Structure 1
Amino acid sequence: MFALRLDPGDTVPGVGLAFTDRLGGRSQGSWSSLNLGRVGVDPAVHDNLEIVRRELGLRALIRVDQMHTTNVHVVHDAVDGQQCPEVEADALVTTEPDVGLLIRVADCVPVLFASEDGSVVGAAHAGRVGLLAGVLEATVETMRGLSPAPLRAWIGPHICGDCYEVPEPMRDAAAEILPATRATTTWGTPAIDLGAGADAQLTEMGVHVERHDRCTRTDPERFFSHRVDAAAGRQAGIVFCTGRVGESRKVGLG
């Protein structure tokens, strides 16, 4: 179910986070089994979201309709056990307690954020377009407007630079904006390293970065990958704050 799970107090006081994998859900066929994509495409997604929500002990999981933009949506309130209406954005930020911010990915980069005082958290969907346009910068700026505390970021599973083959002009255009993205596949063709680009951009902004970015393309039994299957399901990055700074607890409602 989780490629990585950190409960409140494990790293940042009052902040929990997780990167899911494709195991432990109720989806069938090529979406087997913890598909967290669109409910309208796979009806089992609703059950899968509830499984994750309960496991993390959250009163709500908030999602967005991701559009490869730099739009950041600030979540001001939420209702127990329900999603807010989807908004067209690629990042979420909140100070609301026990509300999970969920970003869906299949090869793009999920980046989770927390202020070191545990008062604000964020999640960003950083595909090639959004990363180069500045979605991570926009997320950091929004969070810094809510808390002066230093920020931490966690980069989750995504397609790696050894595998993300692109046309050479696309690779060169990306490297012109963000030099750290320049890469070459293991078979010798032009590539983009999204994780290295995200790491470099965040580090330059003074954000402490941790990378937990196993490659989605090379481990299809554990992760969904759009490059492996264009109709693939989605895993997610999820982050939340408890509103109880300094608290260390194990979560889960059974």
Structure 2
Amino acid sequence: MTIPFDTAAALGDIPHGFFGRRGGVSTGELAALNCGLGSGDDPALIAENRRRVAEATLPGAALAGLYQVHGNRCVIIDEDSDLAARPEADALATNRPGILLGILTADCVPVLFADREAGVIGAAHAGWKGAIAGVTDATLDAMESLGARRKDIAAAIGPCIGRASYEVDEGFVQRFLSDDPANERFFAAGRAGHAMFDIAAYVAARLAAAGVTRIAIGGQDTYADAESWFSYRRACHKNENSYGRQLSVIGLR
């Protein structure tokens, strides 16, 4: 069956996709395309959902993933890598064809990278902790070590929680202002003692500051659109027992 997914024009014809919650086999609160290995879902259903994502993006490709820890480590997938392993990291990079790099999110920012000329790709999971710690910078460094040139790298920011849905407290704001006072521009006024954080814009600014000149932002709000996207924060607010994860992937033919 055909399952829906979003793409980014900035990545051109590089096989990639931002997959949401439609087109899978999971049920209940995790319906339907839940790809999260830590979600408590039936492993057989997760495996089928992940297979569908891979076949929709790059048929026959192997899927490489991570045990994501909200850090800034980037793993390079080479000919010696065990693709069944899930190293503790939050980004991947490779120049190997036939491999899909996969990132799980449920409000955090998925970022897909490609240098088409060099044949090097990357994928990063940027929650706020990883974003401020430089996970996207680490991904760019890893891609350059494989032959990519920063001026040729395009980056696409996928579905994540939007500013209108991302309320944070004053302590959160101060963490970002302490890192760089210019980060004030990513916060809008909220109720007393709180602000609204634009994490997609923050990640885009980090990419631009690092020298990336082609940056796409999808603009989808995972919290606000329950039919299309999983959301950790929404699941918490609704007192749901678990929450699904969507999968973003990129590969080389």
TM-score by length of 1: 0.86
Q: CA deviation at 1:213?
A: 2.9
Structure 1 residues 148 and 34, CA gap change in structure 2 (3 angstroms): closer
Amino acid at match of 2:216: E
Deviations 1:56-76 (A, max 9, x none): 214201110000111111111
Q: Which has the higher helix share?
A: 2
1:54 equivalent in alignment to 2:58: no
Specify the alignment match of 1:229 in structure 2.
Answer: 235
Specify the alignment match of 1:64 in structure 2.
Answer: 66
Given that residues 13 and 117 in structure 1 are in contact (C-alpha distance below 8 angstroms), is that contact kept between their aligned partners in structure 2? no
1:220 equivalent in alignment to 2:226: yes
Gaps of 5+ in 1: 243-254
Listed as ranges, the matches of 1:34-45 within 5 Å are: 34-38=33-37, 41-43=40-42, 44-45=45-46
Given that residues 222 and 230 in structure 2 are in contact (C-alpha distance below 8 angstroms), is that contact kept between their aligned partners in structure 1? yes
Specify the alignment match of 2:32 in structure 1.
Answer: 33
Q: Which moved more, 1:61-70 or 1:39-48?
A: 39-48
**Structure 1 CA distance, aligned partners of 2:88 and 2:209?**
28
1:144 equivalent in alignment to 2:129: no
Deviations 1:11-32 (A, max 9, x none): 5566211000100000010000
Deviations 1:58-102 (A, max 9, x none): 4201110000111111111389xx942111010011111021000
Structure 1 residues 40 and 161, CA gap change in structure 2 (3 angstroms): closer
Given that residues 94 and 121 in structure 2 are in contact (C-alpha distance below 8 angstroms), is that contact kept between their aligned partners in structure 1? yes
Given that residues 69 and 130 in structure 1 are in contact (C-alpha distance below 8 angstroms), is that contact kept between their aligned partners in structure 2? yes
**Structure 1 CA distance, aligned partners of 2:98 and 2:7?**
15
Deviations 1:115-165 (A, max 9, x none): 131511000000000000110111111111212431110000000122111
Structure 1 residues 180 and 195, CA gap change in structure 2 (3 angstroms): farther
Listed as ranges, the matches of 1:1-254 within 5 Å are: 1-5=3-7, 12=11, 15-38=14-37, 41-43=40-42, 44-56=45-57, 57-77=59-79, 83-149=83-149, 150-178=152-180, 179=183, 182-184=186-188, 189-207=194-212, 208-230=214-236, 231-242=242-253
**Structure 2 CA distance, aligned partners of 1:72 and 1:96?**
16
Structure 1 residues 192 and 142, CA gap change in structure 2 (3 angstroms): same
**Structure 1 CA distance, aligned partners of 2:230 and 2:208?**
28
Gaps of 5+ in 2: 237-241
Structure 1 residues 120 and 52, CA gap change in structure 2 (3 angstroms): same
Q: Cα RMSD (Å) of the superposition?
A: 2.2
Amino acid at match of 2:177: A
Given that residues 180 and 196 in structure 1 are in contact (C-alpha distance below 8 angstroms), is that contact kept between their aligned partners in structure 2? no
**Structure 1 CA distance, aligned partners of 2:161 and 2:4?**
17
